[in-house]
Structure 1
Amino acid sequence: MTSPRQLTPNTEASLLAAEFFRRSAGKWRSERRYYTLPDGETKEMVSMITICFLAPGCPELEQLAQLHQLDDAAILTCGAEVSWESTNSVSGKKESKGATLFGVGGTTLYRDRGFATTKPVTAEYYFSNPQTMCLRTKYKGSVFEEELKLIGNNYRTRQTIISRAGEQQMIGQYLEKRQ
C-alpha cells in the first residue's frame, strides 16, 4: 500500500499559483482607481490586460531565470506573461503600455520588472484561500502589498497598498472583467 503524497508548503503554494495563473489566463478589462494618500486625490484608469499561462521550461521562464541569475531555470515551475494598455478614464489619454513576466519558484514570485521600476524584482506570496493570491514586494524603499482574488470565472478584484517609510502612500483598487 502506498502512502498519500505529502505536500510541502512550497509545493502546495506552487500548485495553487499554477492553478491561479491558469484560471487567470485570457483577456480582461480592468477598471482601476488610485487614491493618493493622505490627500485622497484620485485617478481613474481603464486597462486592457492579456494574461498568458507559462508552462515549465518555456523560453520566457528561462529568460526570467537568467535575469534573476538563478542557477537552474527549473526552479520556476510556472508563470504568466501579462501585457496591458492603459487609458485615463477621465481624459481618454493613453497612460501606459507594456508587458511583464512572472515566474513561480517555491513561495517566491520572480518578476522581470516591478510596478515602479524596470529592474527585476521578487515578491513573497501566499494564498489566503485557493482563489486569493497575496503578494508582498519591497524595492527602492517602498513596500507593495497586493491581493488578487478570482470571483467565479469572469471577475477578478485587486487591491494594492503602496507604503514608504511605514506610511501608506497610495491605494489602488481594481475590478477586472473577462472579455
Structure 2
Amino acid sequence: MDAMEFFRNSSGNWRSQRTTHHLAFRRAETGTSEIFVEALGADDQKIVEICEMHDCDPAKAVGGAFVRWESAMAWDKEDENHEGTTVFALIPDEDNPQQGLLLRERGYAEIVPIAGRYHIDEEEALVLVTEYETMTTIERFWFANPDMRLRTSTVQRFGGFNTATYCTEMRVKEENTVSASPAPAYEQFCGW
C-alpha cells in the first residue's frame, strides 16, 4: 500500500471516538468526531493550490485528500469550535515512493499551513511527522479492517510529551451521520 491508496481507502464518512491523555495533568479527556475524507487526484485544483502555497512543483504531487471534521470534547467550553477542513498533498521522495513530503493547509496542532513528512511503515500504517516552531506531532493511522481505522498521535512540546491520543474510527453511511456530541466526562473518576 502507498499513501495515495491509504487516502483512497479512507474516503467516506467516519465516526471517531477519541481519548486524549493530558500527560502533565495526568488526566484523560474523551470526545467524538464526524470526519469526511475525499481522495484527490494529482490534477485536482486543491492539490495544485496547496503545492503553490508551499512553493512546490504541482507536477511532483501524486494526489492527496480533502478532510472535513466536526468534533466535541468533554472539557469544551461554549465558545470552543472543533470544526474545520484541510487539504493534504503528497509529494513522494524520488528514490522511495513509500515516503515523502506531506503538505497541509492547516496543521494538526497549529492552525497554519505546514509541511511535514510521511511514510508507510512495515505494517502498512500511514505515519505523519510534523515539526512546528514549538512542538512536534507524530500521527499513525492504520486499518483494523476496511471499515475500522485506528489512529494514535502524540504532541511533544519543549522536549517533553504533552498529549497522547488514541482514536477508533468507524466508517458510516452518509445517511447515518449525526452531529458530534461530547462523551461522558469519565476522566473525573478514572484519572488517566
Q: Verify: 1:173 aligned to 2:166, yes or no.
A: yes
2:34 paired with 1:48 = yes
Deviates more, 1:165-174 or 1:88-97: 88-97
Distance 1:141 1:122 in 2: 15
Alignment of 1:115 onto 2:115? no
Equivalent position SS for 1:149: strand
Distance between the aligned counterparts of 1:92 and 1:46, measured in 2?
A: 15
**Equivalent position to 1:62, from 40, 48, 56:** 48
Q: Name the TM-score, length of structure 2 as normaliser.
A: 0.80
Q: Does 1:16 align with 2:2?
A: yes
CA–CA separation in structure 2 for the residues paired with 1:89 and 1:46: 9
The code of the aligned residue for 2:13 comes to: K
The two structures have a TM-score, normalised by structure 1, of 0.85
Aligned residue pair count:
164
**Distance between the aligned counterparts of 1:65 and 1:91, measured in 2?**
34
Report the residue type matching 2:133 in the other structure. Answer: K
User: Unpaired runs of 5+ in structure 2?
Assistant: 93-99, 173-192
Q: Percent identity?
A: 27
Q: Which residue of 1 aligns with 2:66?
A: 81
Q: Corresponding residue for 1:98?
A: 84
Deviation track 1:48-98 (CA, whole Å, cap 9, x = no partner) reads 00000000111110110121022x211111100000001235779674110
Structure 1 residue runs of 4+, over 2 Å off?
A: 88-95
CA contact (8 A) 1:33 1:173 kept: yes
User: Which stretch shows the higher mean deviation, 80-89 or 155-164?
Assistant: 80-89
Q: Secondary structure at the match of 1:61?
A: helix
CA distance in 2, matches of 1:154, 1:36: 29
Displacement after TM superposition at 1:129 (Å): 3.2
How much is the aligned-residue C-alpha RMSD, in angstroms?
1.8
Q: Please, which of 8, 12, 21 is the counterpart of residue 35 of structure 1?
A: 21
Opposite residue 76 of structure 1, the aligned amino acid is A
Residue of structure 2 equivalent to 1:142:
135
Structure 1: runs of 5+ lacking an equivalent: 1-14
Native 8 Å contact 1:123 1:135 kept in 2 = yes
- 2:14 and 2:106 map into 1 onto residues whose CA distance is 21
